Amino acid sequence: MKQMKPHQVEGFNFLLSNLVSDNPGGCILAHAPGSGKTFMIISFMQSFLAKYPQAKPLVVLPRGILATWKKEFRRWQVEDIPLYDFYTVKADSRTQQLEVLNKWANCRSILFLGYKQFSSIVCDNETSKAAVACQEILLTYPSILILDEGHTPRNEETDVLNSLKKVQTPRKVVLSGTLYQNHVKEVFNIFDLVRPKFLKMDTSRAIIRRILSRVPFMRKHVRAKGLDNVFYESVELTLQKDENFKRKVTVIQDLREMTGKVLHFYKGDFLDELPGLVDFTVFLNLSSTQKRDVEQLKLLNRKFKISSDGSALYVHPQLRYHLKNNGSREREGIDDAKMDKILENLDVKEGVKAKFFLNLLGLCESGGEKLLVFSPYLQPLKFLERLAVKVKGWSPGKEIFVITGDSTSENREWSMDHFNTSPDARVFFGSIKACGEGISLVGASRIIILDVHLNPSVTRQAIGRAFRPGQVRKVYTYRLVAAESPEEEDHATCFRKESIAKMWFEWNEYCGQNEFEMETVDVRDCGDNFLGSSKLSEDVKALFKR
């Protein structure tokens, strides 16, 4: 029988205090990836149903992790509670969906829906009886609303957030391992979801005024921008750039006073029991061909275009040439035969990230370790996958495993299980969004983050796939950055965002002023035999450690 860890007991009691009272209200559990949020909330939901047998729990989550949730529920449930969803029974029409909703509404059970599925029903303009009935049930029947990866509904301009706000229950619970994503405003959008008009409350208003009094040069903008917007900007500015450390600390304390009754944060200290995490940022010198092409890349106007083209270029210039010359259709998917054609006369040394990957893969093979490779772009992953097939003679499904956004739930589960347990498995390629949440890849102990993702929490989630309970080795992460390219600026932006989350949620009185800075490391004395080897270190321009 599994026992709760101290932080889970604390989180359970926090849920009780907010949700099981005379005046219940929503709350946020911001516990580190891999810290057991799912087990804790499953335990709580069963207790909740025991106390309120007529309750109707609704769980909204990214569709890709539905199978994992149901598997965990069946593993830990005390009694046999029916679990309903639309996908298992292929309920695509509103009439079919209404049948499922009626079953949930009329018996003691739990309903699971994906975020897009939920918002499409609630925001549907269809006026048929079935469509209207579906909307009414979803908005009025839930007794408790659980939002896994609850940072998903953070943009006030999206249907997802606005539809979830309409659910009438006051019991809304957000689960997130990475609450801060891009902006302070997004965090307070989530507070507003679980506690409507959170910033309008008297207690919040008093603290907002107090924070603005500490940052007086921002107050003059209130009339033009509005109090809330100036508050968001003041917090970001103070936590990111303020050189007055004492002021920074008092603003952090103000924020925690404002949010403490609604937010329960857990950094993940129990992960210290694992063998360890070494998190490197590796600046790589580009080849002469790549350096020349980077100058052309800088002339592009669109940020996304620079990022997507750059991702291909930094892996290998031949990949970018092919994508550039073959139109947008092939950006979505080059088949194996065409990718193999690109690789026919390839000089790997021309592509610094491809070279790093191949050398690390060889070291992993020799050392009996498995490798994860994450990127937001599919073509660089496909390129490296086929490169491994060509150079190593390996096969997908045996030594090589892949998960993208197109992978079915069944394929995700199969790939994850086989990669973790098969002695033949060597390398796993994952779309960073498709693999960043809800799966365990503890079979791997080396991770390549192929690109700089401008949302640092996405990268943290990806690393948390391997650095989590069940891991028996020290995990080494290599965040690759192309030196003297637009990626350097992206990396600086990303680190500034990361520092806000760390200051807000993780700072304590024992932290120094430079606690959350990156440490510069000599590659010859980095403590990693792989990275210190001549094969990997020869292209390293600079090395940092978080």
Q: Which two tokens stand for residue 365?
A: 């093979």
> Using 50, 70 and 90 to split pLDDT, how confident is the model at 271?
confident
Percentage of the chain lying above the pLDDT 90 cut:
71
The pLDDT score that the predictor gives to residue 194 is: 98
For the stretch 2-30, pLDDT in tens is 788 899 999 999 999 999 999 999 999 99
Q: Which two tokens stand for residue 506?
A: 């993780």
Mean pLDDT of 32-44: 90
> Using 50, 70 and 90 to split pLDDT, how confident is the model at 436?
low
Mean pLDDT of 218-229: 79
Identify the CA nearest to 92 among candidates 130, 140, 139, 132: 130
For the stretch 488-537, pLDDT in tens is 999 999 998 888 888 899 888 777 666 677 899 999 999 999 999 999 99
Mean pLDDT of 469-479: 96
Q: Please, are residues 278 and 475 in contact by the beta-carbon 8 Å criterion? A: yes
Q: Which two tokens stand for residue 514?
A: 């430079």
Q: Which two tokens stand for residue 412?
A: 């995700």
Judged by average pLDDT, the poorest of 74-78, 246-250, 369-373 is 74-78
For the chain, how are helix, strand and coil distributed in percent, rounded to 5? 50, 15, 35
The pLDDT score that the predictor gives to residue 19 is: 97
The pLDDT score that the predictor gives to residue 112 is: 97
Judged by average pLDDT, the poorest of 253-267, 299-313, 356-370, 511-525 is 511-525
The pLDDT score that the predictor gives to residue 328 is: 53
Mean pLDDT of 297-318: 91
Domains of the chain: 6-196+261-266 (3.40.50.10810), 274-545 (3.40.50.300)
The pLDDT score that the predictor gives to residue 505 is: 92
Pairing of the two strands 475-482 and 277-284: parallel
The pLDDT score that the predictor gives to residue 118 is: 97
Residue 174: which residues within 8 A CB-CB, separation 6 or more? 26, 27, 28, 29, 147, 150, 151, 190, 193, 194
The pLDDT score that the predictor gives to residue 512 is: 67
> Using 50, 70 and 90 to split pLDDT, how confident is the model at 327?
low
Tell me the C-alpha distance between 342 and 98, whole Å: 50
Q: Please, are residues 370 and 425 in contact by the beta-carbon 8 Å criterion? A: yes
**How high is the mean pLDDT of the chain?**
92
What single-letter amino acid sits at 75?
R
Report the 10 Å Cβ neighbour count for 434: 20
